[in-house]
Chains A and B, each alone.
Chain A
Amino acid sequence: MAPLLELDGIGKTYPGVRALDGVSLRLERGEVLGLIGENGAGKSTLMKVLGGVVPSSEGTIRIDGQLQASWDVPAATRAGIAFVHQELSLFDNLDVAGNVLFGREPLRGGPLRLFDRRAAREKVAPILRRLGADFTPDTPVAELSIAQRQLVEIARALAAEARIIILDEPTSSLTLSETARLLSVVKELRAGGVGLIYITHRLGEIIDCADRVVCLRDGRMVGALQREDIAHGTMIRLMIGRELRSLYAPPTNPPGEGGLEVRGLVTSAFPARQVDLHIRPGEILGLAGLVGAGRTSLARTLFGIDPPLAGEIRLDGRPLALRGPRDAVAAGIYLAPEDRKRAGLVLDMPITQNVTLANAADYTRGGLLMHRLERAAAEKQRQGLRIKAPDCGVRASTLSGGNQQKVVLGKWLSMAPRVILFDEPTRGIDVGAKGEIYALMRALSDHGVAILMISSDMEEVLGVSDRIVVMHEGRISGGLDRSGFSEQAVLRLAIGGTRQEAEETHA
């Protein structure tokens, strides 16, 4: 019998980025395929292609051996592909049955097209029983826990008679016992002949349930493991397994004293965890960890956006009370946020006004803004940072990602930075511009600025940092000095291992 799903030579090119390159994979009925890879390896893109959300640049898709000529969302749905997303996509304001049957509501009343509640309940109840759900079809979704909502999503897939279910980081917000429940549901589905693709960072779950594992790296399929070969070590080797390009430019001076010291900081994202951290002037401190480990929340707290629940923040030995970003900016702590289009820039404003946004008062004489001074300041940043734009009067929205990031930097460099927090500084930026950003970070640190670089890009973390700390579920799981840097060590810490384990891995 032909395999349920067969991808052959799938490639996807975004302008300037090769997101997927010749990916082939196969899924059989009643099989759980584990899909692993680091952040940015291309897993999400591959799944978007599979779901028909983005078209592939090349390659073929076969369902039951049938070559699919055109592939889009309706075609994927017809083929029986269903997603259970990382971010849940349920309607809070409907009940379970309404969600499960959304778009396929049983109707009555002929032309009135009324929602048939009873039929819906009768249709959904057996599915919930099959999944071992402890709630009824008419429970409002708003009252369900995250784990229960996940079951609703799976029920939705089953109601659509999905034959291929893709679980994307399904357990990222589940407790251990909820995870165990989910895994037993996965096995039950497999026994029922459904093909599942299971994407996760939690390798233990893969060991528990996958029949086969494939690994993506830099958009390529880099290897597959059969059931008997699946183990932590083999998977981590597959996920890494490449030569690291050398990005490292050593600092000119040893790190100085002072800088930003954090003691016992409790952020709202993880109220039960404490963070201790020391960012020294003249060094780039890399902050690694899996998505959702609490890194962005830490940066937001250090920048005054989220108030800390407890703990102490000191800058050069003096305690800081951050009541808002205003206090952080006044103290010389700046943030280059992860989402630069939303939080870093005013896209509809010209480069000039973006550069002078945070210290506009410095360009006034007698209370009036002097456009000449503003232009001069922006022009200086444009040249210093080599922002590619015809002039500083063009709107930030017209620039490429790398140049937008430089404008964000220009805003802070035209002031007096003491600490700069970079959150995913090169996300969505092509290789050439990445190098420029790294060089800028090094130049800043050599000028005595303390730099924290949050990054999910392993190459970047290992290649740019002078020191690395790793977060896991809201706490710092360990730190590494340059001599102890290795991808294995960082990954160990990122999935919650101890420093000792990390060192053993390295040895």
Chain B
Amino acid sequence: MSKKELGLALLLIVIGGITAALNPLFLSGVNLLNMANLIGLFGIFAIGQGLIIITGGIDLSVGSMFALLGVILVDLLVNFELFWPLAVLAVIGVGLVLGLLHGLLVTRLKLQPFVVTLCGLLIYRGIARYYTQDSTSGFGYAGDIDTVSWLAAGRSFGIPNPFIIMVVVALIMAVVLHRTVFGRYLYAVGRNEEAARYSGINTDAVITGAYVLGGALAGLAGVLLVFYTSSVSPSSFGNFYELYAIAAAVLGGCSLRGGEGSVLGIVLGTVLLQILQNLVNILGIPSSLNFAVMGGVILLGVIADQQLGQRKQRIQSNRAQGLAPAE
């Protein structure tokens, strides 16, 4: 655990402690399970977002992708009565392909990630609304979805399945990011794409890979979200979710300049965001202030991180110079 993550964990405990002290309901089983469920849902795509941010990119299209994927999933299950594992795989596949598309546009055509995914945000939402003629779709009396519904929204050993899935995803992605060559290259590309290219790294493939993974994780999260709400209204489903993901990644130590961040940090960032959401409810703060609280905390966190980072850098360069006096 790095100092950054430790600091974040500490912040979590402090905020959680204060909230619990003000209202003991915060620690009640129901509330904790509910939070765990949401942390699972949001954590999965926040990790995908984090990978993209580490390359120096961004994905604004996640929320709209959820609407499009949700519409597709319901359609496949209800109208086409597709066997559910195929439907789920198809949805994750569509997410993956959209990610691939973003990655290719960014690396091959050298478009800015912000622009590419902003267009994605507009296009996917538009398609979802047009396809359903803006009407909410749900599962109704569709048969044979009990298993998948349980997998996506049920509990095992009393723990919400989305949370368990998120933990598994986090573990896998932590290994990918921190222990594989691909992960190392993600950081290298994010920190200095030119030097990475000059070292013989296929930087385009690395960056595209991040978008592909991000897309696939968005697909997985999309499936879970549909079963969480059990219906999809294409004009509002997933609205703003990309911003939650970006906020969680930034809180968790990802720099929008790229090259920084960790899976653990992103997960902790997601947890903090959900606690903030929750405390607004539980402490009776007007829910209209929800966003303002979140924004305020993120701002403070980033300022504190910036200040600490500058101090650390000074100390490190002093240390290096002390031992290796100016040549």
Interfacial residues, chain A to chain B (CB-CB below 8 A)? 15-16, 303, 305, 324-326, 328-330, 335, 337, 342-349, 353, 357-358, 360-361, 364, 367-369, 388-390, 394-395, 397-403, 411, 430, 432-433
Contacts and interface: CB of A to CB of B under 8 A. Distances in A.
A357 B201 contact: yes
A357 B196 CA distance: 8
A400 B184 contact: no
8 contacts: A305-B198, A357-B199, A358-B199, A369-B184, A394-B319, A399-B320, A401-B327, A402-B327
Nearest to B181: A360
Contacts of B181: 360-361, 364, 369
Given A398-B321, A400-B326, A348 B184 contact: no
A203 to B, nearest CB: 36
Given A361-B181, A368-B180, A394 B196 contact: no
A353 B183 CA distance: 12
Nearest to A432: B327
A15 B325 CA distance: 11
B317 interface: yes
Contact of B200 (A328, A348, A367): A328
Nearest to A401: B327
Interface in B312-327: 316-317, 319-321, 323-324, 326-327
B227 to A, nearest CB: 33
A368 B321 CA distance: 34
Given A349-B187, A360-B184, A398-B316, A329 B327 contact: no
A324 B202 contact: yes
B259 interface: yes
Nearest to A336: B198
B188 A357 contact: yes
Contacts of B192: 342, 345-348
Nearest to A15: B326
Contacts of A330: 200
Interface string B284-327: 00000000000000000000000000000000110111011011
Contacts of A344: 195, 198
Contacts of A394: 316, 319-320
B175 interface: yes
Given A389-B324, A400-B324, A360 B197 contact: no
B189 to A, nearest CB: 9
Given A329-B199, A358-B201, A360-B185, A346 B324 contact: no
Contacts of B188: 346, 349, 353, 357
B3 interface: no
A486 to B, nearest CB: 31
Given A360-B185, A361-B181, A16 B327 contact: yes
Contact of B191 (A325, A337, A349, A367): A349
Nearest to A333: B200
Contact of A389 (B187, B195, B197, B323): B323
Contacts, number: 103
A52 to B, nearest CB: 26
Interface string B186-221: 011001101111111110000000000000000000
A403 B324 CA distance: 10
Interface of B: 175, 179-181, 183-185, 187-188, 191-192, 194-202, 259, 316-317, 319-321, 323-324, 326-327
Nearest to B192: A346
B327 A337 contact: no
A343 B201 contact: no
A402 B324 CA distance: 12
**Top 5 A-B residue pairs of the complex, sorted by shortest distance between their CB atoms:** A329-B200, A398-B320, A388-B324, A358-B199, A346-B192
Nearest to A303: B198
Contacts of A345: 192, 195
A346 B201 contact: no
A474 B184 CA distance: 38
Contacts of A305: 197-198
Given A394-B316, A397-B317, 14 more contacts: A16-B326, A325-B200, A326-B202, A328-B200, A342-B194, A346-B188, A346-B191, A348-B191, A348-B192, A357-B201, A369-B180, A388-B324, A394-B320, A398-B319
A390 B322 CA distance: 9
A248 B202 CA distance: 38
Interface core residue of A358, A401, A432 (most chain B CB under 10 Å): A358
Contacts of B179: 368-369
A403 B198 contact: no
A473 B58 CA distance: 43
B199 A403 contact: no
Given A346-B195, A369-B180, A369-B181, A326 B200 contact: yes
B201 A326 contact: yes
Contacts of A357: 184, 188, 195-196, 199, 201
A358 B188 CA distance: 11
A353 B195 contact: no
A402 B188 CA distance: 22
Contact of A325 (B183, B199, B320): B199
Contact of A400 (B195, B196, B327): B327
Nearest to B318: A398
Contacts of B319: 390, 394, 398
Nearest to B195: A346
A480 B183 CA distance: 48
Contacts of B201: 326, 357-358
A400 B320 CA distance: 10
Contact of A343 (B194, B200, B320, B321): B194
B4 to A, nearest CB: 14
Contacts of B327: 16, 388, 400-403, 430, 432-433
Interface core residue of A361, A364, A368, A411 (most chain B CB under 10 Å): A368
